[in-house]
Amino acid sequence: MTTFNIQCELEYDVTSPSHFLFHIEAARVADQLVTDESLTFTPLLDAQSFVDGDSGNRFRRLNVLAGPLSVRYLATVEMNYVLPSRDAAEVPVSLLPNELLHYLLPTRYCESDLLAKTALRTFGSLPMGLSRVEAVCAWIKDNIEYERGSSNTTTTARDVLVSRAGVCRDFAHLGVTFCRALNIPARLLVGYADFQDGEPPDFHAIFEAYLGGRWCRFDPTGLAPVERLVRVGTGRDAKDVAFATIYGAASMTRMQPVLLEKTA
């Protein structure tokens, strides 16, 4: 069990009345316990909270008038993610639980149907199981350049494969896409990461593949240990897990999501 402190600060310049949907609170799931948290808005505003019934993702929505907006989220979270066994096996489609079947389907950012031939040609003959998903991650890391500013909110896995460059969400989308093309359920995971190489504070995207009857984490970027990432949300692709969705006119002026290990 490892305990982390989250300190997340977001600032916006709102130019006309807008509606915000925030998704920045740590998930309440089996492998992490939220022991303390607070979420404040300046100016003081009434925010409606709700939990998505399918994913368990936590959201806050609120109306904001023109002017500056500051968001501050503090939390203490106990993490207990267990790395998968080396013999974690792929589950035949016929034995998958009903609720996981949609994690095999192509989505807006993960065109597993269009990249199926590439996935099968590259990974189809490899031994099935954990090692095959690790091979997917290794291929992405070796063949895709991690380059800030190389993609945008419309970039898909297919785009990344063509341009050979992207950021964490692009690496994760490509991992999800290849896995689905191999009939391995996969989904995007976003959260607060313990970056190892001086990366600037940011939300981090990795992916999960369903192996051995459980969801297992993978990070093709290699930027942060998967067992030291506090989950905020999971989804079929990035459209399900945006940390902020704005209906109106506003621009972000500051973002600093920080994860720190708590020491005695």
Tokens 């800030």, located at residue:
148
Both 106 and 211 in a single domain?
yes
What does the chain come to in residues? 264
Both 102 and 215 in a single domain?
yes
Tell me the C-alpha distance between 35 and 143, whole Å.
40
Residue 237: count other Cβ atoms within 10 Å of its Cβ.
23
145: its two tokens = 């350049």
Global pTM reads 0.95
Residue 62: count other Cβ atoms within 10 Å of its Cβ.
17
Q: What is the CATH number of the domain that holds 191?
A: 3.10.620.30
Let me know if residue 86 belongs to a domain. no
SS3 157: helix
Let me know if residue 219 belongs to a domain. yes
Split into its structural domains, the chain has a count of: 2
Tens-binned pLDDT, residue by residue, of the chain (264 aa): 899 999 999 999 999 999 999 999 999 999 999 999 999 999 999 999 999 977 889 999 999 999 999 999 999 999 999 999 999 999 999 999 999 999 999 999 999 999 999 999 999 999 999 999 999 999 999 999 999 999 999 999 999 999 999 999 999 999 999 999 999 999 999 999 999 777 788 999 999 999 999 999 999 999 999 999 999 999 999 999 999 999 999 999 999 999 999 876
pLDDT of 185: 98
Tell me the C-alpha distance between 257 and 251, whole Å.
17
